[in-house]
Structure 1
């Protein structure tokens, strides 16, 4: 059992589901986010309100940690100045503090948007060059490259989880390949924490989907064995899906709608606006 794990982004959709499983893997879990407080704090869990973009706060928070599970960031496209603070500077602050305090490993929530402009006809692997679709995706490229650099120079291990779709549901045809269930997401993080040696590893955050467009074979040593499969939703989803337009990057690129969202504009709000015909 680890002595101390730090979890950033603990109030988020994914971070909130990781708190209990991570608390069971360590003597002390320190959870952090910008929320005033968290509900259901475990007996061995401490919550500290902190900003990942604040170097001093991260330096104090990470002291004594063996591992950091870094899920704290803006999880959408946004103006570059906002992405710079939370995603670029946040990642730097975490890795720098980890180096200063002798942290063994960082498990990082990367994203498919680091590779979003690749066409879906290309089955992407963990060692292909980045091809981001947004400032958000660019920030994930930066953090991945920094993780590799800190591994090469200082021996800080890193597992970068390129999460494909936000877990929870299969709402469209894209999700038939990109779906990641909450249970599989938790398993993915657990295996990233308890595998004895990981070096620098990139793995895609997808479930065991028949239509998965990514190749996770190089990371099999982590022991991640996803159990859920979006194929059970395929018949219903495809029955209501219009014919694909091969010239529409939103349909043809791994990044989905983010491949067409203007830089700096919220992808969530842009997609909602387009769906409403505005």
Structure 2
């Protein structure tokens, strides 16, 4: 059992799902976000309100930490200036303070939007080049590169989870991109308990028949998803009209983020269900 795990973004959808499982893996879980309250805590869990853009606040979380699960961020497209603090500087603050505190590894909620402009009819692997679809996706690219640099220059491991859609299956795209709650927990558990990872990238997706990504080169992490969105296919396809191959949102991996104007959120958030 680990001595201490720090979780950022604890009030978000993924953070809320992960908290009980993380608490079971460590003696002390420190959960953090910018909200005032995240509800009932586990017996070994404490909550600390902290702004990712405030280096001192993030550094204060890290004393004695072994693993960091960095899930905090603005989870939509927006003006670069708004994303700069939490999504860019926040990642630097997490890596720098965790490394100084002696953390062994950081598990990061990256996103398909780091490679969102790749054509959807190309099944991309974990070595696909960065092709961000938004400033939001650019922040994911930045943090993946930050993680690689800190591994190669300072020896702190990281596992970057390119999450596709961690939300209920409501459209045809999600038949390929769905990551179930149970598979999310399993993915993070493997990212934590794999003995050595170095710098690693893996897609956060369930065992969907229509999955548009390939995790075969990340098999060493031991992630073996159990759920399949095909169980929802008949109902979803019956309720959705014919697909439009001229619609870029249906033809790139980033979905609606592929068409949203840079710096403008809202529409993408309503459609996405990612991270």
Structure 2 length as normaliser, TM-score? 0.96
For residue 188 of structure 1, report the CA deviation from its aligned partner.
0.6
Find the aligned partners of 1:193 and 1:246 in 2 and give their Cα distance: 40
Is the CA contact (8 Å cut-off) linking 1:77 and 1:136 kept in structure 2? Answer: yes
The separation in 2 between residues aligned to 1:153 and 1:45, in whole angstroms, is: 32
TM-superposed CA distance for 1:268, in Å, is 3.8
Which residue does the alignment assign to 1:80? Answer: 80
Task: Assess if the C-alpha contact under 8 Å between 2:111 and 2:140 holds in 1.
Answer: yes
User: Is the CA contact 1:258–1:267 (under 8 Å) kept in the aligned structure 2?
Assistant: no
Paired with 1:59 and 1:235, the residues of 2 have a C-alpha distance of 49
Q: How big is the alpha-carbon RMSD for the aligned residues of Structure 1 and Structure 2?
A: 1.2
Taking the TM superposition and a 5 Å limit, the aligned residue runs for 1:244-255 are 244-255=243-254
The question of whether the paired residues in 1 share the 8 Å contact of 2:77 and 2:268 is answered with no
Quick check: 1:200 aligned with 2:191?
Answer: no
**In the alignment, what sits opposite 1:275?**
none
Superposed displacement of residue 118, structure 1 = 0.5
Measured in 2, the distance between the counterparts of 1:64 and 1:174 equals 42
Task: Indicate how the Cα distance of structure 1 residues 72 and 101 shifts in structure 2: closer, same or farther if over 3 A, else same.
Answer: same
The equivalent of 1:276 in structure 2 is: none
Matches within 5 A, 1:1-278: 1-167=1-167, 169-268=168-267
Is the contact made by 2:260 and 2:267 (CA closer than 8 Å) also made in structure 1?
A: no
2: distance between equivalents of 1:53 and 1:165? Answer: 26
Higher-RCO chain (CA-CA 8 Å, sequence separation at least 6)? 2
Q: How far apart are 1:223 and its partner, in Å?
A: 1.3
**2:125 counterpart SS class:** coil
Name structure 1 gaps, 5 residues minimum.
273-278
Runs of 4+ in structure 1 deviating by more than 3 angstroms, as ranges, are 267-272
Q: SS at 1:20's partner residue?
A: helix
Shift of 1:43: 1.0
Q: Offset of 1:65 from its aligned partner?
A: 0.4
Q: TM-score, normalised by structure 1?
A: 0.95
Give the Å deviation of 1:236. 1.7
SS at match of 1:14: helix
**Is residue 104–residue 157 contact of structure 1 (8 Å, CA) maintained in 2?**
yes
Deviation at 1:240, TM superposition (A): 2.5
Q: CA deviation at 1:38?
A: 2.0
Structure 2 residues not aligned, in runs of 5+: none
- Residue-pair matches, total: 271
